[in-house]
Amino acid sequence: CLKGGDVALVSDAGMPCISDPGYELIVTANQRGIPVVPIPGPSVVVTALVVSGLPTERFTYLGFLPRKTNDRQRLLESVAGEYGSIVVLETPHRLLAALNDILLVLGDRKVAVCRELTKLHEEVFRGTVSQAIDHFTEPRGEFTLVIEGKRDEGKPQLTEEIERELQYMRWTGMTAKEAIAKMAEKTGVSKRELYRAWLRIGKS
């Protein structure tokens, strides 16, 4: 326990308590009436936003994406309608799985994939999600992704005929990724809308 002294919480991996177990220490200190004084420091979230080249006036921060595919896709689906940029953290061994889910749920949006920010092997890749998948064949280091928000532009709408085609593709055993990619190219409907329809069909 603390006995009248001052304690500093520091981190060599960004701002303490942001997606960091230091959060638990702050909660305990607050509960015990111990004053907590924050000092502005490096934050990978803000750093990635600044360097991304994507809009920064509004953004959603999700922290680390869930480990399980279904949980990850549900979380991405929940922010699919956000117009601001979306910031997530990811580990090297889950990066490609995360990018593939982003492509499936959100579509081929612009993305900045930031690796090892402020460190010796810093790298910032800017492009589309599909281009990032091709680029990071053997991911190493810690990653911060800044994903483009929803685009406010007129696009072809989902129709009953399109849903019937998706239903037939599902019945024939085609995977979600194959069916959605094919229908997106054919109709111009966003992959996000097609994915929602695919999920509805599966529940019916």
Q: For residue 105, tell me if it sits in a domain.
A: yes
Q: For residue 171, tell me if it sits in a domain.
A: yes
Shared domain for 60 and 23, answered yes or no, is no
Which residues constitute the domain of residue 69? 44-147
Q: What is the DSSP string of the chain?
A: ---S-------SSSSTTSSSTHHHHHHHHHHTT----------HHHHHHHHH-S--SSEEEEEEPPSSHHHHHHHHHHTTT--SEEEEEE-GGGHHHHHHHHHHHH-S-EEEEEESTTSTT-EEEEEEHHHHHHH-SS--S-EEEEE-----S--PPP-HHHHHHHHHHHHTT--HHHHHHHHHHHH---HHHHHHHHHHHHH-
Shared domain for 55 and 94, answered yes or no, is yes
pTM: 0.64
Shared domain for 117 and 75, answered yes or no, is yes
Shared domain for 36 and 61, answered yes or no, is no
Q: What is the pLDDT of residue 100?
A: 97
Shared domain for 195 and 176, answered yes or no, is yes
Shared domain for 166 and 97, answered yes or no, is no
Q: For residue 82, tell me if it sits in a domain.
A: yes
Shared domain for 56 and 71, answered yes or no, is yes
- Compare 71 and 120 and report the one with higher pLDDT: 71
Q: For residue 84, tell me if it sits in a domain.
A: yes
Check which CATH number belongs to the domain holding 133 and give it: 3.30.950.10
Residue where one domain finishes, among candidates 147, 172, 187: 147
Rounded mean pLDDT of 14-37?
78
Q: For residue 124, tell me if it sits in a domain.
A: yes
Shared domain for 91 and 31, answered yes or no, is no
Shared domain for 15 and 95, answered yes or no, is no
Shared domain for 11 and 86, answered yes or no, is no
24-33, 64-73, 103-112: least confidently modelled range: 24-33
Shared domain for 165 and 102, answered yes or no, is no
126-173 confidence digits (pLDDT tens): 999 999 999 999 999 999 999 999 986 666 778 888 999 999 999 999
31-35, 71-75, 97-101: least confidently modelled range: 31-35
Mean pLDDT of the chain: 88
Shared domain for 123 and 68, answered yes or no, is yes
108-120 confidence digits (pLDDT tens): 999 999 999 888 8
Give the count of domains, the chain. Answer: 3
Q: What is the pLDDT of residue 3?
A: 64
Rounded mean pLDDT of 74-89?
95
